Chains A and B, each alone.
Chain A
Amino acid sequence: MPPSPVPDSGGKQLMAAGLTDRLTGQMGSLQEALRRLSKAATFKDLSDQFLSVTAGFFPEGEISLFRRPGNSAAWERLSHPRGEEAVPPEQGAPGPSPDGAGTLIRVDHELVDASRLAAVVTRRSAGTPYTDVDVISLRLFVALFDSAFQEMLARRNEKELIFSLNHRVLQLNSLIDTGIEVAKLDRDITPYQLALERAASLTNASKGSVTITRGEEQIERILFPAGLTGLRTDGEGGGIASRFTFGGNSYSFRLFEKESRSGAIPFEETDQLLLDALARQVHASLENRYLHEQELEKQKIDQDIAVAAAIQQRILPAELPVIEGYDVAGINIPSKSVGGDYYDCIPLADGRYALVIADVAGKGVQAALLVSSLHAYLSAYLEGGMALVGLVKRLNRVICTASTDDKFITAFVALLTPQTGGLEALNAGHNPVYLLRTDGTVQELNRGGVPLGMLDMDFPYESETLTLGSGERLLLYTDGIPEAHNRLNELYESDTPLKEFVVGHVPPGAGAFIAELINDVKRFTADAPQSDDITALYLLRR
């Protein structure tokens, strides 16, 4: 094959005209090639399409395609020519021109990703030598390859960008959803299990764990996915972690092996932020659950207290009996919904009446239960006709058995014989009961013994006997009256000694006296909260 002619000036013009004509004729082929190359989705697709379109253009030739990555010196063969003539580029820099014999064309082109593409056309059999037009045509095809490759990369980048943006939206959305879901109290999955699943999913972690410890003791460990084996304990194995403590327990979330299509990659800062945010949501959820449980428990206690209060209201007399020749009135104002005070005036089978007032140390349900016990035993013993001292001794024993060490009852019990005004009284550690005589003196009834339930021994209780004359009055009360205090924390007793009040207030009826007493206490305490139960029983012999 002769070397390519070197044209003179006129020849150059003729060649240029011929070249233009030939290239113009190929325009349709080039457009079709661009259309086909542009549809490629992968580099391999692109290479295959290139070989296909150029095979039609160089029917006598064998086309080889090579690629050399930007950071490599070695060429990678992309096609597999049938013949032996294919010349790898490393045997010589691929040249832009046909070789001297016109049997070989090499075109070397830098692609947009800084890699190099080499296309080599070798003639399989003898024939017309390749010319500059063929070189230019091959260059044009390679340029089309580059354009299609750029377009493919742009499409891929666009898809990746959309995917990435969607994933960010997904992460934000899931963060919000997870916050709502972990706050739900009726799920069949714990909030930390749910958060672990979501964290693994949103960060592309292949596995994860939640470890709950109290001190050195591991209470629970949850693995994701379930059934994993060989996952290393916290503090080892890399990954990312987030921790918090609540209720004395430490909760540690860990994620391992961030996935990608090309293998494990390092976790990103965003992954850590997401894990921290989810852990915080679990922390808040656990706190809310705790508060919710506390509230439920409080509601239950309130219900119990309400029941106890209802029971106690039934124990306290709805109305006192009418005693011929006497006027009797009483009142109980509990400071809490369930108080520890008790009073009653109980008619006995033999015509006598039992006047009772008692005060349990402490308040609330336990105090109410003790009052209930006192009421039951007292009623039973009175019905049985027991003598007063023996009755109180028995009461002391049963209250000792029924109460805890810090609970006892101060009580005053008196048995009144209405016809004679005879009164047998026993004071078991209670406030003195005031007996206002007609001469204006006040007798304190103190004789008795220790409070009920305070000492579990055969304590020598004793009673006193006296007579209530016409016009004489008896006041039984609990310490809620003398110890009522105002905003300055001053006691009512220091303002108005109760004994003086008894002397100074002698209305014609028992109810009127109770009303005057309570009004006076309220005058003193004003807007100060009531600190103790207020209970009083007043008996007036006409």
Chain B
Amino acid sequence: MEQPFSLASEVRDNRLIITTSGYVNNVGGETIAREFNKHFEGGTKHVVINLGQSKVVNSVGMSFLIEIIEKLQDVDGKLVFTDLDPAVEKMLAIMGLFQFAGKEKSVEDALASFSSAG
């Protein structure tokens, strides 16, 4: 059963990696957005969100993810989701998030995709 939300983050080569655990709802989405904004204001334009330990996402949580995508679009940045549970991946696809964000199997793949895209 899904756990309450928690988050960890790290920066590698000016790329922000956010790893979540638990229900991505209003609280979860807000926490992700806050963490993102902290780094975004410092100039971070490439972001990875590892949702491997988040099996449940609701639409309020997704609205925060969409905001992050929009902000990154404005500065030609990019967001990549990784380690997606099939149900979560389908939800994000239906909500149209992959039109503007990427998805990769792992964080390493996501970081590699930034490098190959320049």
Contacts and interface: CB of A to CB of B under 8 A. Distances in A.
B59 A170 contact: yes
9 nearest A-B residue pairs (beta carbon) = A226-B1, A259-B26, A170-B94, A259-B60, A204-B58, A225-B4, A225-B2, A166-B95, A201-B58
A222 B1 CA distance: 9
Interface of B: 1-5, 22-23, 25-27, 55-60, 63, 66, 70, 87, 90-91, 94-96
Given A197-B1, A226-B3, A261 B95 contact: no
A200 B58 contact: yes
Nearest to B92: A170
Nearest to A174: B91
B63 A163 contact: yes
A177 B91 CA distance: 11
Contacts of A174: 87, 91
Given A201-B56, A206-B25, A259-B60, A167 B95 contact: yes
A228 interface: yes
Interface in A225-266: 225-228, 259-261
Interface string A8-48: 00000000000000000000000000000000010000000
Given A204-B58, A224-B23, A227-B3, 14 more contacts: A166-B96, A167-B59, A170-B94, A174-B87, A177-B90, A200-B56, A200-B58, A202-B58, A206-B25, A224-B2, A225-B1, A225-B2, A225-B5, A226-B3
Interface of A: 41, 162-163, 166-167, 169-170, 173-174, 177, 189, 193, 197, 200-202, 204-206, 222-228, 259-261
Task: Identify the interface centre among B5, B57, B59, B95: most chain A CB within 10 Å of its CB.
Answer: B59
Nearest to B86: A177
Contacts, number: 74
A197 B90 contact: no
A259 B25 contact: yes
A38 to B, nearest CB: 14
A269 to B, nearest CB: 17
A393 to B, nearest CB: 66
A340 B63 CA distance: 72
Contact of B57 (A169, A193, A201): A201
B59 A261 contact: no
A260 B55 contact: no
A166 B25 contact: no
11 contacts: A170-B59, A170-B94, A174-B87, A177-B87, A193-B1, A204-B59, A206-B27, A224-B1, A259-B25, A259-B26, A259-B60
A227 B55 CA distance: 16
Contacts of B96: 162, 166
Task: Identify the interface centre among B22, B25, B27, B90: most chain A CB within 10 Å of its CB.
Answer: B25
Contacts of A228: 4
A166 B90 CA distance: 12
A206 B56 CA distance: 11
Nearest to B24: A201
A259 B58 contact: yes
A222 B2 CA distance: 11
A205 B26 CA distance: 10
Contact of B94 (A173, A204, A206): A173
